[in-house]
Amino acid sequence: MRRLVGDEILQPCASCGGISRSWVTEVLYYGRIERSVSTRCECGAAWEECGMDGFSGIYREALVARVGLARVHADPEVNRPLRARLLVVFRRYGMTIAEAVDAYARLTGDGVTGTPAETQLLADRLAAAGGTVTTAAGTPS
């Protein structure tokens, strides 16, 4: 059974049955989020898992505990003429029309939060569409 302690994931070791510890990281790599999980056990067993497109579940919780959340924001007045183009960015990556409209409202309101890599990727995509956005890093919890 996996459990989160601070920013570490504790789980049974596949080699010895003891407790292994996992740490997670994510970075932007050519316009996608690359994620990795490093796992070590006192018995000497170690393994790495890598993939693309971010984390979910306990892995995302561990990442947020480690790096905190960041925010991307767009000034509503500056970006109003580009609203349709910015909505397309949200739609292009899988949101329904209603979800995209909600995301735009959050973006031009308090901002959209996510991990630093998630918010930087969104900021890059919005800027490529002509938007003027800012990002602010959070602090780990």
pLDDT one-digit tens code per residue, 86-104: 999 999 989 999 999 999 9
Q: 4 pLDDT band (50/70/90 cuts)? A: very high
- Look at residues 83, 91, 89 and name the one whose alpha carbon lies nearest to residue 108: 83
Compute φ and ψ for 19, nearest 5 degrees. Answer: -95, 120
**What pLDDT is stored for residue 138 in this prediction?**
63
Whole-number percent of the chain with pLDDT over 70: 97
Task: Please report how the helices 116-128 and 83-92 are oriented relative to each other, as an axis angle in degrees rounded to 10.
Answer: 130
pLDDT category at 53 given cuts 50, 70, 90 is confident
Q: What is the widest separation between alpha-carbon atoms in the chain?
A: 60
Distance CA 21, CA 65 (A): 15
Task: Provide mean pLDDT across the span 46-71.
Answer: 93
Please state the rounded mean pLDDT for residues 21-36: 94
Residue 14 CA: distances (Å) to CA of 47, 48, 51, 99: 10, 13, 20, 41
Please list the helix, strand and coil fractions of the chain in percent, rounded to the nearest 5, in that order: 35, 35, 30
- Count CB-CB contacts under 10 A for residue 5: 11
How many degrees, rounded to 5, is the angle at CA 104 between CA 103 and CA 105?
Answer: 90
